[in-house]
Structure 1
Amino acid sequence: MFEPRWKNDELNWILENSKLIKTPFFLLKEDKFKNNIAFLKKELKGQFLVCFSIKANPWYASAAAEYADYVEVCSPGEWELCRKQGISANKIIVGGVYKSELELKELVKSRPHRISIESMLQLEQIEKHASASGIQANILLRISSGNQFGMEPEQVIEILNHKDKFPSLCIKGIHYYSGTQKRQISEIEKDIALLESIGNQTKDNFTEIEYGPGLGVPQFENHTSEEYNMLLSELINRLKTLAGRFQITLECGRLLAADTGIYITEIVDQKTNYNRTYYIVDGGMHHLQYNGQIKGQFLPFIYTGDKTTETKEVAVCGALCTANDVFARSASLPEKKIGERIVFLNAGAYCVTEGICLFLSRDLPGIVMNRQQELIVLRDVIASYSFNMRL
Structure 2
Amino acid sequence: MRREQLEYAAARYGTPLYIFDLDILKRQTDRLRGALGDKTGLCYAMKANPFLTRQMAEKVDRIEVCSMGEFEICRRLEIPPEKLFISGVLKKKEDIYKILDICQDRCRYTVESVKQLHYFLEWSDAHMKVLRLYPRLTNGSQFGMDEDTLRSVISIVNMSPYLEIEGIHYFSGTQKRRVRQFQEELEMLDKLLLKMRNEWKVRIEHLEYGPGTAVPYFKGKEAKTYTDEGLDSLREAIGSMQWKGNVTIEQGRAFAAECGYYLTEIRDVKKNKDTHYCIVDGGNHQLNYDGQIRGMYHPDIQVIPGDNRGQRKKWTVCGALCTMNDVLCSDVELADVRTGRVLVFERTGAYSAMEGMALFLSHSLPAVVSYDRNTGWSLLRDHQPTYIWNMPDESLKETESSADNILINEAELSAVNF
TM-score (norm 1): 0.94
- SS of 1:354's partner is coil
CA contact (8 A) 2:265 2:340 kept: yes
Distance 2:152 2:122 in 1: 19
Question: In the TM superposition, what is the alpha-carbon distance from 1:147 to its structure 2 partner?
Answer: 1.0
Q: Which moved more, 1:17-26 or 1:258-267?
A: 17-26
Question: Is 1:343 matched up with 2:344?
Answer: yes
Distance 1:226 1:93 in 2: 28
Deviations 1:160-203 (A, max 9, x none): 35642233211101000000000012321231122112212211
In the alignment, which residue of structure 1 is the partner of 2:186?
Answer: 192
Q: Following the alignment from structure 1 to structure 2, what is the Cα–Cα distance between the partners of residues 227 and 246?
A: 23
Whole-Å separation in 2 of the counterparts to 1:302 and 1:147:
35
Alpha-carbon distance between aligned partners in 1 of 2:364 and 2:353, rounded to the nearest angstrom = 13
Report deviation, 1:232: 2.0
- Report the AA paired with residue 133 of structure 2: I
**Offset of 1:382 from its aligned partner?**
1.2
Q: C-alpha offsets along residues 361-391 of structure 1, whole Å, 9 cap, x if unaligned? A: 1111110111217222211111111101001
Deviation, 1:302, is: 0.6
- Deviations along 1:337-363, one digit per CA (max 9) or x if unpaired, are 211101000100011111110011111
Of residues 374, 382, 387, the one that matches 2:389 is 387
The whole-number CA distance in structure 1 between the counterparts of 2:167 and 2:386 is 43
Residues 165-176 of structure 1: pairs in structure 2 closer than 5 A: 165-176=159-170
Regions of 4+ moved over 6 Å = none
1:64 & 1:228 partners in 2: Cα distance?
A: 19
Pairwise mapping of residues 86-235 of structure 1 onto structure 2 (< 5 A)? 86-109=78-101, 110-111=103-104, 112-160=106-154, 163-203=157-197, 205-224=203-222, 228-229=226-227, 230-235=229-234
Which residue of the partner structure matches residue 353 of structure 1?
A: 354
Most deviating of 38-47 and 326-335: 38-47
Structure 2: state its 5+ residue gaps.
394-418
The CA deviation at 1:225 is: 6.6
- Give TM-score scaled by structure 2 length: 0.88
* Alpha-carbon spacing, 1:243–1:304, altered in 2? closer, same or farther (3 Å): farther
Match of 2:367 in 1: 366
Structure 2 match to 1:261: 260
Question: Partners in 1 of 2:193 and 2:323 — Cα distance?
Answer: 50
Distance in 2 of aligned mates of 1:17 and 1:80 = 29
Counterparts in 2 of 1:191 and 1:161: CA distance versus 1, 3 Å: farther
User: Cα deviations across residues 218-273 of structure 1 (Å, max 9, x unaligned)?
Assistant: 10011347663032222111111238611101001000000010000000001100
> Shift of the alpha carbon at 1:105?
2.0
Task: Say whether residues 1:59 and 2:56 are aligned partners.
Answer: no
Moved more, 372-381 or 82-91: 372-381
The amino acid of 2:245's aligned partner reads: F
Classify the secondary structure of the residue corresponding to 1:182: coil
Q: Work out which of the residue numbers 20, 24, 36 in structure 1 matches 2:16.
A: 24
CA distance in 1, matches of 2:359, 2:312: 35
Q: Distance in 2 between matches of 1:98 and 1:121?
A: 10
Q: Residue by residue, what CA displacement relative to the aligned partner does 1:80-106 show, whole Å, maximum 9, x if unpaired?
A: 101111111111000011111122223
Q: Within 2, Cα distance between the matches of 1:372 and 1:223?
A: 31
Partner Cα separation in structure 1 for residue 360 and residue 348 of structure 2: 20
More divergent stretch after superposition (194-203 vs 133-142): 194-203
Deviations 1:54-83 (A, max 9, x none): 100000111111111111110011011011
Q: 1:48/1:244 Cα in 2 relative to 1: closer, same or farther (>3 Å)?
A: farther
Q: Is the 8 A contact 1:210 1:250 kept in 2?
A: yes
Which has the larger displacement, 36-45 or 113-122? 36-45
Match of 2:379 in 1: 377
Q: 2: CA distance between counterparts of 1:157 and 1:242? A: 21
Q: Name 1:38's counterpart in structure 2.
A: 30
Which SS does the other structure have where 1:352 is aligned? coil
Deviations 1:298-356 (A, max 9, x none): 11111114420521111111110111111111110003221110100010001111111
Gap regions ≥5 residues in structure 1: 1-5
C-alpha distance in structure 2 between counterparts of 1:265 and 1:344, whole Å:
8
Q: How many residues are paired up?
A: 383
Higher Cα Rg: structure 1 or 2? 2
Q: Counterpart of 1:328?
A: 329
Query: Secondary structure of the residue that 2:240 maps to in structure 1?
Result: helix
Deviates more, 1:344-353 or 1:157-166: 157-166
Q: Which moved more, 1:182-191 or 1:268-277?
A: 182-191
